[in-house]
Chains A and B, each alone.
Chain A
């Protein structure tokens, strides 16, 4: 099935949920509201003519000062049987960073969602194990947000002077037979 047809089909089924359909170089994105995202995913998985059984990728995007709502969660879906693709995007506003998990549809979404939480702070409701994954557990801030600084503060590591002193002491050490 052509991507445009699939997008129309989703719009037909969920007229209130789909906000927009965009297309670039034969790749079609369906932008949807986040409230019924699991229903949409379940429909895409179960429909015999669509059968999107393969979640290729799930990631977040931060559109700081570019778009409102600020965040988007992007689902790349593929059907192994019919070999068609679609991109689904759910809008997540900054004041309510919550969206339902799709781990019940695709088990592979588990770590992708954890990474999305780790990098953007988007919480997936109903996720079996919502923890940070790549960053340390006590890390502050969400690194892939656009307002997260690329370089750190100009602060010296507290142990640095100690290392320098030790190195100096070792240099002055006199080796004896």
Chain B
């Protein structure tokens, strides 16, 4: 196969002049194992080459934005779990950071570090699932089996932390739900000890694998200017060589107190996006280590009308007086939340594993957002799919879909 331009048929094949050739339309999805959910693509093909690619989305539309407008700031939190169900922790954090910025409050130091820690766990778990399914789509089945071993450990850690594996709803406005136990920290530390070795294992399977290189190098190339113009974010943008990471440029939580590097690619192809995510997993591991080491002591939530301090953090003396207050406040929060929030509008973006997740709130002074807009990375990435696929081959569509890392729950909201 050396020396053949993949986008053109070999020149020594002669097509009989009396045969007519015409473009065919191929429907792919919504029930297709490689579209990562319910994405439907209509491809117009000229032989093996894609002339036009039209994505159809909306099969998972649940009206999250409309639902959010009819709920209090507190009760809309579980909706964000269901956006990107692969990394729900990061979505929760994106939501609470945005609401906190709107209310003008901030979490205590310890909560910041806990959030950063669990966010990076979410990032690793997301990238592991991405790696497994992406490699499976392209044809390597083995990594899929290995990545689930590590992902399972993170899921178990989440379960020990908050009782849920996928839809965690662990962060709270003004802090986190409950404190981390010493056992959790020990287990997590043990995980970080051995995780870099596991990444090495995946890399031996893929990074210099000849078939993998053939399938990913020079496929789905998007130059930096185009990637910015299309609004790509996260590892997909960094794969094209743009150094843009919200964790560095607009730090939230404890990202300004930990050290990490932003990996970037050079060619903007599928392989570079793969490499960026692999290095990101190692950096996430590094951030988790630093968070465990630097974890300060102190409260995990602040005292504000939108939060209530956890029971365990109280001295014995205050307990009786507090208990009454605690339950009445819990009742108020659960019943309808505080009746007012500052009037104004705010857009806050956080770096989730897939890219930039932004929440835009317009508050009219009541306890519910007047408008809750979710800027989801998957939606924007799916819109750029024709740009990546057109002119390429049918088989590369699968590699392209995998490399932009979309989840349709977040795309359709």
Binding site for B on A (CB under 8 A): 24-25, 27, 29, 53-57, 59, 61-62, 66, 74, 76, 80, 83, 85, 87, 106-112, 115, 119, 132-136, 143-144, 148, 150
Contacts and interface: CB of A to CB of B under 8 A. Distances in A.
B61 interface: yes
B63 interface: yes
Given A107-B384, A108-B230, 10 more contacts: A24-B346, A25-B101, A59-B360, A59-B373, A61-B362, A76-B358, A106-B231, A111-B380, A143-B63, A150-B66
B72 to A, nearest CB: 15
A58 to B, nearest CB: 9
Contact of A135 (B61, B232, B358, B383): B61
Contacts of A61: 362, 371
Shortest 5 CB-CB contacts between residues of A and residues of B? A108-B231, A24-B344, A111-B383, A134-B58, A57-B375
B66 A25 contact: no
B231 A133 contact: no
Interface in B55-111: 57-58, 61, 63, 65-66, 70, 101-102, 104
18 contacts: A24-B346, A25-B102, A25-B344, A27-B347, A53-B225, A56-B347, A56-B356, A57-B373, A61-B362, A76-B360, A85-B347, A87-B347, A107-B231, A108-B229, A108-B380, A108-B383, A111-B379, A143-B66
Given A53-B228, A80-B228, A111-B380, A134 B412 contact: yes
B58 A56 contact: no
Contacts of B231: 54-56, 106-109
Contacts of B345: 24, 27, 29, 87
Q: Which bucket holds chain B's interface residue count? A: 35 or more
A85 B356 CA distance: 15
Interface in B377-402: 379-380, 382-384, 387
B100 to A, nearest CB: 11
Interface string B237-269: 000001010000100000000000000000000
Nearest to B61: A134
A150 B68 CA distance: 11
Contacts of A80: 228, 242, 244
A53 B229 contact: yes
A57 B58 contact: no
A112 B242 CA distance: 23
B48 interface: no
B364 interface: yes
Contacts of A29: 345
A143 B63 CA distance: 8
Contacts of B373: 57, 59, 74
B147 interface: no
B349 interface: yes
Contact of A106 (B229, B344, B346, B347): B229
Given A66-B364, A76-B347, A80-B242, A107 B229 contact: yes
A25 B104 contact: yes
Given A25-B104, A56-B231, A108 B360 contact: no
A106 B230 CA distance: 7
Contacts of A119: 65
A144 B61 CA distance: 13
A79 to B, nearest CB: 10
B375 A56 contact: yes
Contacts of A54: 228, 231
Contacts of B226: 107
A2 B384 CA distance: 31
A54 B383 CA distance: 15
Contacts of B58: 132-136
Contacts of B225: 53
Contacts of A148: 66
Contacts of A110: 383
Interface string B338-358: 000000111101000000101
Contact of B358 (A56, A134, A143, A144): A56
